[in-house]
Amino acid sequence: MALLVTVLGLSIAAAAGASSVTQLILAFSLAWGLVELGLRTSLAPRLVGLARRERALLVLVAVVPALDVASRRDALADAEGWRELAPRWVDRARLARRVAIAPPLVVAGRAQTFFVRAEGAGTVRVGFEGEDAIEATSLGHGVFRVDATPRGVDRSREDITVTISVDGAVHDARLLHHAPVPHPRGIRVDDQHALCFVSEESGEVFYGVLGALRSMPVTGGPAACAVVGGAVWVAVRDEPSLVTIAAEGSVAARGPAIGRGAVAMASEGAKLAIARSGERRELVVLDALAGSELARARVEGVPLEVAFAGDRIVLTTRSPARLELRALDGALLASRDLVMPAAALAASPRAIAIATTAFDEAARDNLGNHFVEDQLVWLDPRTLAPTRVVPTARRTDRQDHAGDADRGLGPAALAFDDDARLYVAFVSSSELAVFSPDAPTRGVDLGDRFFGPSSVAIDGETVLAGSAIDGALVALDRRSLEVTAGARVAPTNAELLREAPRLLQVRLGERSFFEGTRAGASCHSCHLGGSTDGEAHNIGGRVLAPTLDVRGLAGTAPFLRDGSYPRLGDLHDVAVLEYRGYREPAGDRRATLEAYLASLPIPVSLADRDVVREQRGLDAFVRAGCAGCHAAPAFTTLARHPLRTIFPDHPGDAASSLDVPALRNLRGQEPYLHDGRARSLLEVLTTANAANRHGDTRALSEQDRADLVFFLETL
């Protein structure tokens, strides 16, 4: 009878195209019912006591429907959520340990904040391999915070041991280890041909001339540099003071204090303009040589880039996407809201140029399948009115002729020369192009030198271009665009393959992240440099969703807002399924993309610290029930919840789920929540939680909410 039920059940399941457990159960229940019915009728003698040959025949008959059902195993696994079970279980089990630490990634030389959960513990000390233990700060409720800049271990090591001492009892944890290679960014040159550039990843500043570069370690994340008065001035993300390096010197010294969170710097003569996004978002103007502060002005959005346009300062921001023109005293002269934030900026007294993925206002209403339209926009330096718009991507060629050479993808750095020619580095390919006001556009493929030029600067008759991905630079003749010299600050692929294969995987994954797909978009198009553009996109014709920051994803499977991607490498499917895939094969992109994304650390919060207030905030966090889903140490349980159970007013279908996000790096990540309904963290706790099902925030007092926001901003 079992054989009959099996054969019949498989046949029904195959005929009905069953691809879920429910359908399979129904098919087999129906089969069982039919066999039972048969047994109670005149068929009974034929159904019981089948001969061996008849049984064999039945088994043969079952082969075809069995194969048919088996062919739908992927659909079955998707429908039942089985693909994510294993990776999620691994990450959840790590977080469920009695003493758990997160994130599970140690980046050598990078300031990081770790959290430890050790319930009932009095003191916790954390020791990174080869280093003295650090005492963790207790925030209450068994949650401890550790601020550290681990030195790391040998570059070839893929993991590192961390010792967690809880009231004297020692627990070991193995964390991923990443020792980044230099990533040259933000080349700056003075009129004496002295250049500088920074590598935030490896914590270094490079300076000198292309043939004789020197490097200086600068802790705290060197974000930008400039050469002024024969010295190199470095703005550091995690430090409040600038760092100065005498051109011929080998010692870094503290410069003027501007506050933490520097993201960009520009120079004009002795003046330095620094955009920062620390405790406050500000534009700071200094006279470098006099050591005096000329101006300090608040900025509404998250600053991206800054440049001098003669006696004015141009600033780009995201959240909101905006272009601002300011006087040297910081006063706002003009501003222009952008559809998408500027990915690059250049300015001269004669023109301002930005690179963006959408400029036309009509794109704002594009609720269809959003696609990226890389373009350059020239604007009047007095009024910010656009004077020229040039789409750079050649979309049709790519779509119709798979494998054709691509041009104009991912403009990531811009520089004007004295003749108003605009030099553009396209990070999503290997191209450097020159846009002239009165001559055809010219381009040069730097593919034999490196992939993904991400910075460009003009040095007299020479153009300097660098690739952060490949850690290399070239000098080109400004007229002929012929390469005249090159330099490398990071190991070659061959060297990495020999010494640290994992780092080669990371590099290749980084390339995939920035590389343009056939549809013209790259991951970088929206996740600017691994961060976010602060906008909402409609991918695959679904609802608009704010772009997520992709830093700090390691150990938080599954991924995407709905948790539909079990592994980081599955994000490769976005490129393949939504954006037509890559033009050229490049090994196992899934694996390399996963290696790259897993190597990106969570930036340290630059919010003010106040342990007592943080403790009050965490207490409010627990009282409101937030910790039920956003549990320490990762501030997520990695669970998936039906969206409507948390936000009953969600307009999507009932099947929508929400993967509980890790509450890290929240500051400056507005808009918040799955649909961007909250413009601030306070709104998350108030107006965006009208049903009071996203935590019992109604029970909190105003002071509780303020403390809770304060705490969240420190994560």
Partner 1 sequence: VSAALTHTSGWLAMASLLASLGLSLAARGLSEHRARLVAFRRLAGLLGAAAALAHASLALVAVLGPASLEEASAIVGAVPYLRHGALALALLAVLALTSFPELNARLGLRTWSTLHRGVYVAAALAALHVLAGPSADPRLALAVTVVVGLLLLARLARRGSRASEEAREPQPPDDT
Chain residues binding partner 1 by CB under 8 A are: 1, 21-22, 25, 32, 36, 79-81, 85, 89, 92-93, 96, 628-629, 637, 639-642, 644-645, 648, 653-655, 657, 660, 691, 693
Shorter beta-carbon distance to partner 1: residue 48 or 389:
48
For residue 74, the minimal CB distance to partner 1 (Å) is: 15
Smallest separation (angstroms) from partner 1 to the CB of 5:
8
Q: What are the C-alpha distances in Å from 161 to residues 104, 230, 530? A: 11, 44, 27
| Residue closer to partner 1 (CB basis): 171 or 214 | 171
195-211: string of b/e by CB count within 10 Å (b at 16+)? bbbbbbbbbbbbbbbbe
DSSP run (H or E) holding 274: strand 271-277
Name which of 22 and 71 has its Cβ closer to partner 1.
Answer: 22
**3-state SS, one letter per residue, for 576-597:** HHHCCCECCCCCCHHHHHHHHH
Contact 571, 558 (CB under 8 A): no
Nearest Cα to 453, choosing from 422, 484, 431, 475? 431
**Sequence-distant (≥ 6) Cβ neighbours of residue 207 within 8 angstroms:** 194, 195, 196, 197, 213, 214, 215, 216, 225, 227, 232, 245, 247
Task: Specify the residue, 316 or 636, whose C-beta has the smaller distance to partner 1.
Answer: 636
Reduce the DSSP state of residue 646 to 3 states and report it. helix
Q: How far is the CB of 655 from partner 1 (least distance, A)?
A: 3
Give the nearest distance from C-beta 627 to partner 1 in angstroms. Answer: 12
Spell out where 119-203 has E strands: 124-128, 134-135, 137-140, 143-148, 159-166, 169-178, 185-189, 195-199
Torsions phi, psi for 119 (to 5 deg): -65, 135
In the chain the first and final C-alpha atoms are separated, in Å, by 61
User: Of 76 and 134, which has the nearer Cβ to partner 1?
Assistant: 76
Nearer to partner 1, 28 or 371 (CB): 28
Task: State the minimum distance, in angstroms, from the CB of residue 549 to partner 1.
Answer: 23
Q: Which residues contact 230 (CB under 8 A, 6 or more apart)?
A: 190, 192, 194, 246, 247
Other CB atoms within a 10 A radius of the CB of residue 73 amount to 11
CB closer to partner 1 out of 69 and 629: 629
Sign of CA dihedral 571, 575, 577, 579: positive
CA angle 604/609/610 to nearest 5° reads 155
Judge contact between 274 and 284, C-beta under 8 A: yes
Assess contact for 265 and 272: CB atoms under 8 A.
yes
Nearer to partner 1, 393 or 638 (CB): 638
Dihedral angle computed from the Cα positions of residues 548, 550, 553 and 558, in that order, rounded to the nearest 10 degrees: 50
User: Of 171 and 640, which CB lies nearer to partner 1 in the complex structure?
Assistant: 640
Q: Are 216 and 198 in contact (CB under 8 A)?
A: no
Smaller CB separation from partner 1, 93 or 439 = 93
Closer by beta carbon to partner 1, 657 or else 689: 657
